[in-house]
């Protein structure tokens, strides 16, 4: 037989495009359209419905950037259409290739009842099936004219990302507003041909199945009268019945399709627009669930559910009904799909606390999985947190984006720093926006790396990023793929059902230990520095507010601010979303984030001040409150008192210019360039700075990645570097015991103060940068005389090690990585820590000196600032302040303590003469760090203490409560008793805990 595949396939494409798809709507009449443009921000639904619109014609331009227009469409169903299915076709000017990224709408009936959302892949509204003829149609559309930020020419800088700079030019052209007859037979024929055509293209050319489909498609096309598609569609469908009925083979891959709409809580749109995106998508999905009995939809991010409940009660009613039926499924158990690299220990825990509690309170549903398809890599401390929240599973997709190394598994056990393992799945479909295309389904089956021992995978199905969700076309395709020869078998089911099957068939999956590092988007650790600083500061303020409010409540009857703390935690957690905290959103988002963090700081400082004044009493005696988990200068952790004096620091001149700082523990030399050429550990008789090198060295690189400007830094950035070693001035600081350095470069200016606190082995570097560069990357370098093949990086509830070498492609790919408060590197018996108050990105490299002692220089570089132009063309412009400290002679315990010191400073309060405040709880072992002291969320008055082993070893510690204890319970993160836990050893108010390396434990103290 002659090979005519190309001929038939080309015929199929043209006939579908030019004849069959247009015949889905064979008859139409125009609707009358009027519009009212809301001034400013979106208005309540009732106001939009009541507004008096003016006339507008199709073809007219509408929609200033970020505007809201209320369209009213009216018409009458022709009598001649009686008995037929009729739909309204409402095209606001959509580009079908941009679902989620441009204008959208939510359709209402005149009484305010939501009907469904409109987006580029969902432009229809059912009027009747069948109609009687003569029905009056009246619909209202709340249309959002969101501008296209990410266009066909990717990553072009634009001012459209903020309403203050976007201008008022209309963005869209009203394209079609019609009533139309819907021919379901033709629509079904379209889907038959699409499914078979897409499957055929994925089958081997020499397979019989491919040729059987080809011949059936050819017969179907022969059966279609191109001048009467509607009259001959059924005849064409009959030609496809046999090939569509052929069942899949017994070894076919199994795909669990989960309806999905990954909605970024902010990204190329502001938070307020996400509220509306969620309402539009949810309206679509509840409507689809009513029409499609097999369909199941899952939605994560409790914050988005809460938005619907708060802002769209009319939509919420439909959600609650669908949840009760078990087909609209809460997923993930987190407040938002957060970044997981940068959030601190408590913040990561609270993502699950607030997320899971919302679903429990609203629906009585508890999720068993973390759902993070789009998060940019996963910190090594996360498995323990997931497990401590009562979940055991994780789903993500983003690791498939890694540029260098392909991840070796799709289903596996992920082991965290404490040994906790989580059953994890990466969908081999390699997208969280699956559209049920044949190419996607075939890719999932071919790509699945666990063939032979497992056969189930999951496909998140629906338009995402900006929302939209699953379409009726996707559901129809999935129905055809349920059991179809040559294809994987597809079934709709919730995430839990998939995980149950996957675990049952794969009882001993492979294990991956340590972080799940995304070999992409590394610059998200640095972009938008003020957003990151706001997050770090808010985390520590929240910890402090809970600590002092709980202490004051127990000691003085202070009213514990439950509602305020709950609200504030949710605000901070929202801003940890994986496009806000990483700095990859538009200017509007980060402008609002800065203002939000300022408000949060003001509110929390108010709570802290009120609680401390309640504790200190009235008077003029100075008392220091120490919120850190370590004693400082005699002031106990979590308590208040008068600190002990700790020596003096002296400032002297160097013979060759510059200064010497000496406090008897460290001697630091700063040369005439303002560079640290010596940091001598007097007690250890050991130099910290590598010979011939200098620390406090600012370095600037060009920074223009190949793609994803705010997200990426490509390795070639290192090919060019400028050392900023010239100083405008180097002088003694105003206090007489510090050194001030000023530098200018480009259009920017840096001012630094270097100080050596008395009695402490740490050099503090306070850096202020007035930053006005573009597409540059600023680093702060510390070349250290340390031979280390690995270094420790703090993460949630502990730390883990990364190599300093690049032996393999896996190690070489980690050229920019995340730390929390410290990095630490060491030789046996001596080490160095670099701690920070707000930076996350860093790199560590090693070289061997070719002259002199031929020793090893290990260089730690802190990432300070970037200047990408997309999606925010003014990223990081302006003044920034950072604090870092170099800690010579530090072991891991020192690194932990100094990381807390720089992030949780003491507070000086005036109070009564006897104003010492005993801690609410004390710990007798420095290896055990308390991360939270608070009152229980249920208002019972119980005291909750969370702690963890911080050094990577086993620990036995005694916790002593500063109040009478009736009982102690070991709980999960939600403060519920663990079912298999026994009450810890207790002697009155003294509790003994035994912890494995990095283990976290939550204790609930019932007060007597």
Q: Which residues, in sequence order, are CB contacts of 153 under 8 Å at separation 6+? A: none
State how far the Cα of 617 lies from the Cα of 447, in Å rounded to an integer.
Answer: 67
**Half-sphere exposure at residue 1005, Cβ-oriented, CA atoms within 13 angstroms:** 25
**Of 836, 708, 853, residue with least CA distance to 767:** 836
Q: How far are the Cα atoms of 37, 251, 476, 488 from residue 248, in angstroms, in the given order?
A: 53, 8, 17, 7
Q: How many CB atoms lie within 10 A of CB 618?
A: 9
Backbone angles phi, psi at 987, to 5 degrees: -125, 90
**Of 148, 13, 52, residue with least CA distance to 94:** 148
State how far the Cα of 573 lies from the Cα of 903, in Å rounded to an integer.
Answer: 19
Query: E strands along 813-964, which residues?
Result: 817-818, 822-827, 830-836, 841-848, 856-866, 878-888, 907-911, 921-923, 928-935, 943-949, 955-961
Tokens of 453: 């021992």
Find out whether 767 and 881 touch, Cβ atoms under 8 Å.
Answer: yes
Q: How far are the Cα atoms of 200, 211, 221, 224 from residue 216, in angstroms, in the given order?
A: 11, 9, 9, 13
- Report the DSSP beta bridge partners of residue 881: 768
State how far the Cα of 1002 lies from the Cα of 974, in Å rounded to an integer.
Answer: 9
**Of 806, 838, 796, residue with least CA distance to 388:** 796
State how far the Cα of 711 lies from the Cα of 527, in Å rounded to an integer.
Answer: 8
Tokens of 118: 């409109």
Sheet strands side by side (includes 650-653): 650-653, 659-662, 666-670, 676-681, 686-687
**Half-sphere exposure at residue 529, Cβ-oriented, CA atoms within 13 angstroms:** 28
Q: Which residues, in sequence order, are CB contacts of 56 under 8 Å at separation 6+? A: 33, 34, 35, 62, 71, 174
Q: How far are the Cα atoms of 266, 356, 368 from residue 365, in angstroms, in the given order?
A: 26, 8, 10
Backbone angles phi, psi at 698, to 5 degrees: -80, 135
State how far the Cα of 306 lies from the Cα of 991, in Å rounded to an integer.
Answer: 39
Q: How many CB atoms lie within 10 A of CB 617?
A: 17
Q: How many separate helices (H) and strands (E) can be counted in the chain?
A: 19, 53
Active site annotation includes 339: no
Tokens of 804: 């300093």
Check residue 717 and report its DSSP letter.
G
Sign of CA dihedral 16, 18, 23, 25: positive
For every residue of 212-260, DSSP letters joined together read HHHHHHHHHHHH--TT-HHHHHHHHHHTTHHHHHPPPPTT--EEEEEE-
SS3 405: coil
State how far the Cα of 440 lies from the Cα of 199, in Å rounded to an integer.
Answer: 10
CA dihedral 490, 494, 495, 501 (to 10 degrees): -60
**Looking at 192, 374, 785, 972, which residue is catalytic?**
374
**Of 758, 767, 732, 739, residue with least CA distance to 662:** 758
CA-based Rg of the chain, rounded to a whole angstrom?
A: 31
Q: Which residues, in sequence order, are CB contacts of 499 under 8 Å at separation 6+? A: 368, 369, 393, 423, 425
Active site positions, annotated:
374
């Amino acid at each position: 037989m002659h090979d005519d595949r190309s001929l038939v396939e080309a015929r199929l494409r043209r006939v579908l495009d030019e004849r069959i798809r247009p015949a889905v709507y064979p008859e139409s009449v125009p609707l009358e359209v009027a519009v009212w443009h809301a001034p400013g921000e979106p208005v309540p639904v009732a106001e939009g419905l009541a507004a008096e619109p003016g006339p507008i014609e199709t073809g007219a331009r509408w929609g200033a950037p970020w505007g809201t227009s209320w369209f009213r469409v009216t018409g009458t169903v022709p009598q001649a259409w009686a008995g037929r299915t009729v739909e309204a076709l409402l095209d606001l000017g959509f580009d079908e290739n941009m679902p989620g990224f441009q204008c959208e709408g939510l359709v209402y009936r005149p009484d305010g009842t939501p009907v469904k959302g409109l987006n580029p892949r969902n432009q229809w509204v059912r009027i009747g099936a069948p109609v009687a003829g003569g029905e009056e149609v009246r619909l209202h559309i709340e249309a959002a004219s969101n501008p296209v930020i990410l266009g066909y020419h990717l990553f072009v800088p634009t001012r459209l990302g903020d309403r203050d700079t976007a201008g008022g030019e209309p963005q869209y052209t009203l394209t079609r507003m019609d009533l139309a007859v819907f021919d379901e037979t033709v629509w079904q024929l379209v889907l038959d041909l699409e499914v078979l055509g897409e499957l055929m293209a994925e089958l081997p050319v020499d397979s019989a199945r491919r040729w059987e489909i080809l011949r059936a498609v050819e017969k179907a096309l022969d059966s279609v009268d191109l001048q009467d598609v509607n009259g001959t569609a059924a005849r064409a469908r009959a030609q496809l019945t046999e090939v569509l009925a052929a069942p899949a083979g017994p070894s076919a891959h199994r795909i669990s399709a989960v309806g999905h709409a990954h909605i970024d809580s902010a990204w190329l749109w502001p938070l307020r627009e996400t509220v509306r995106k969620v309402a539009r998508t949810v309206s679509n999905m509840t409507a689809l669930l009513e029409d499609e009995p097999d369909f199941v939809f899952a939605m994560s991010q409790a914050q988005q559910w809460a938005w619907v409940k708060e802002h769209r009660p009319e939509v919420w009613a439909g959600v609650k009904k669908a949840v009760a039926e078990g087909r609209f499924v809460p997923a993930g158990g987190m407040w938002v799909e957060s970044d997981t690299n940068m959030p601190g220990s408590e913040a990561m825990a609270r993502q699950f606390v607030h997320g899971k509690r919302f679903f429990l309170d609203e629906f009585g549903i508890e999720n068993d999985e973390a759902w993070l398809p789009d998060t940019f890599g996963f910190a090594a401390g996360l498995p323990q947190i997931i497990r401590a929240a009562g979940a055991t599973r994780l789903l993500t997709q983003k690791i498939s984006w890694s540029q260098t190394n392909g991840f070796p598994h799709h289903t596996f056990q992920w082991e965290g720093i404490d040994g906790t393992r989580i059953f994890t799945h990466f969908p081999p479909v390699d997208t969280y926006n699956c559209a049920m295309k044949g190419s996607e389904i075939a890719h999932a089956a071919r790509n699945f790396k666990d063939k032979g021992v497992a056969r189930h995978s999951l496909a998140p199905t629906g338009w995402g990023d900006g929302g939209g969700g699953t379409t009726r076309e996707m559901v129809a395709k999935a129905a055809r793929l349920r059991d179809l020869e040559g294809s994987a078998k597809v079934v709709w089911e919730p995430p839990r059902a998939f995980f149950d099957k996957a675990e049952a068939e794969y009882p001993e999956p492979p294990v991956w230990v340590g972080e799940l590092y995304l070999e992409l988007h590394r610059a998200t650790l640095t972009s938008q520095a003020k957003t990151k600083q706001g997050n770090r500061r808010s985390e520590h303020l929240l910890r402090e507010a809970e600590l002092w409010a709980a202490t004051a409540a127990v000691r003085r009857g202070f009213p514990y601010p439950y509602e305020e703390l709950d609200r504030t935690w949710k605000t901070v957690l929202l801003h940890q979303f994986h496009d806000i905290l990483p700095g990859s959103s538009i200017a509007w988002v980060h402008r609002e984030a800065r203002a939000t963090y300022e408000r949060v700081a003001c509110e929390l400082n108010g709570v802290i001040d009120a609680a401390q004044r309640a504790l200190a009493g009235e008077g003029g005696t100075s008392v220091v409150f120490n919120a850190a988990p370590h004693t400082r200068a005699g002031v106990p952790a979590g308590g208040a008192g008068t600190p002990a004096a700790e020596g003096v620091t002296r400032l002297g001149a160097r013979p060759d210019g510059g200064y010497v700082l000496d406090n008897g523990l460290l001697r630091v030399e700063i040369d005439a360039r303002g560079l640290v050429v010596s940091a001598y550990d007097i007690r250890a008789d050991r130099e910290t700075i590598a010979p011939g090198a200098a620390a406090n060295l600012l370095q600037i690189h060009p920074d223009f990645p190949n793609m994803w400007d705010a997200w990426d830094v490509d390795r070639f950035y290192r090919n060019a570097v400028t050392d900023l070693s010239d100083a405008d001035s180097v002088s003694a600081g105003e206090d007489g015991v510090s050194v001030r350095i000023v530098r200018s470069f480009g259009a920017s200016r840096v001012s630094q103060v270097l100080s050596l606190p008395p009695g402490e082995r740490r050099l503090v570097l306070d850096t202020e940068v007035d930053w006005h560069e573009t597409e540059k990357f600023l680093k702060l370098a510390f070349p250290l005389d340390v031979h280390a093949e690995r270094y420790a990086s703090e993460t949630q509830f502990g730390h883990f090690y990364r190599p300093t070498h690049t032996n393999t492609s896996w190690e070489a790919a980690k050229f920019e990585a995340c730390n929390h408060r410290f990095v630490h590197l060491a030789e046996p018996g001596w080490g160095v820590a670099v701690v920070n108050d707000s930076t996350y990105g860093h790199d560590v490299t090693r070289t061997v000196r070719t002259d002199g002692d031929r020793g090893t220089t290990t260089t730690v570089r802190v990432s300070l600032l970037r200047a990408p132009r997309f999606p925010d063309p003014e990223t990081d412009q302006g003044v920034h302040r950072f604090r870092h400290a170099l800690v010579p002679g530090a072991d891991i315990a020192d690194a932990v303590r100094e990381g807390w010191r720089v992030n949780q400073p003491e507070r000086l309060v005036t109070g009564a003469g006897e104003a010492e405040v005993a801690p609410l709880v004390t710990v007798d072992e420095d290896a055990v760090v308390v991360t939270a002291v608070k009152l229980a969320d249920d208002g019972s008055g119980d005291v909750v203490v969370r702690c963890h082993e911080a050094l990577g070893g086993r620990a036995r510690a005694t916790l002593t409560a500063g109040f009478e204890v009736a009982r102690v319970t070991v709980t999960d993160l939600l403060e519920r008793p663990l079912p298999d836990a026994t009450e810890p050893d207790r002697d009155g108010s003294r509790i003994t805990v035994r912890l494995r390396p990095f283990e976290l434990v939550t204790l609930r103290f019932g007060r007597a």
